[in-house]
Structure 1
Amino acid sequence: MTSGPQRLPGVAPESPAGLVRFNTSKDSEALAALYEVCASAAWGSKLLAQRPYATVEALFDASDAAMAELSAEDLAEAMAGHPPIGRPKPGDPTSSREQSGMAGAPEELKAEMLELNLAYQERFGHVFLLCATGRTGEQMRDAVRERIGNPPGQEREIVRTELGKINRIRLTRLVAEGA
Structure 2
Amino acid sequence: MTSTSTPSGLARFNALEEHAALAALHEACASRAWARRLLAARPYATAEDLYAASDAAMADLTTEDLHEAMAGHPPIGRPEPGDPASAREQSGMAGAPDGLKAEMLELNLAYQEKFGHVFLICATGRTGEQMRDAVKERLGNAPEQEREIARTELGKINRIRLARLVEED
TM-score computed with the length of structure 1 as normaliser: 0.92
Q: CA deviation at 1:12?
A: 3.6
RMSD: 1.0
Whichever residue aligns with residue 111 of structure 1, its letter is: A
Whichever residue aligns with residue 151 of structure 2, its letter is: R
Whole-angstrom CA distance in 2 between matches of 1:125 and 1:143: 17
TM-score computed with the length of structure 2 as normaliser: 0.97
- Unaligned residue ranges in structure 1 (runs of 5+): 1-10
Whole-angstrom CA distance in 2 between matches of 1:167 and 1:68: 12
8 Å contact 1:12–1:55 — kept in the other structure? Answer: no
Closer/same/farther in 2, CA of residues 26 and 16 from structure 1, 3 Å limit: same
Tell me the SS of whatever aligns to 2:44.
coil
Whole-angstrom CA distance in 2 between matches of 1:174 and 1:16: 12
Residues 106-148 of structure 1 deviation map (CA, whole Å, 9 limit, x = unaligned): 0000000000000000000000000000000000000000100
Candidates 133, 140, 143, aligned match of 2:131: 140
Tell me the SS of whatever aligns to 1:134.
coil
Q: Given the alignment of the two structures, is residue 43 of structure 1 paired with residue 39 of structure 2, yes or no? A: no
Candidates 66, 74, 80, aligned match of 2:71: 80
Aligned residue pairs: how many? 167
Whole-angstrom CA distance in 1 between matches of 2:118 and 2:154: 12
> If you compute each CA radius of gyration, which structure gives the higher value, 1 or 2?
1
Q: CA deviation at 1:91?
A: 1.6
Which consecutive aligned stretches of 4+ in structure 1 deviate over 2 angstroms post-superposition?
A: none
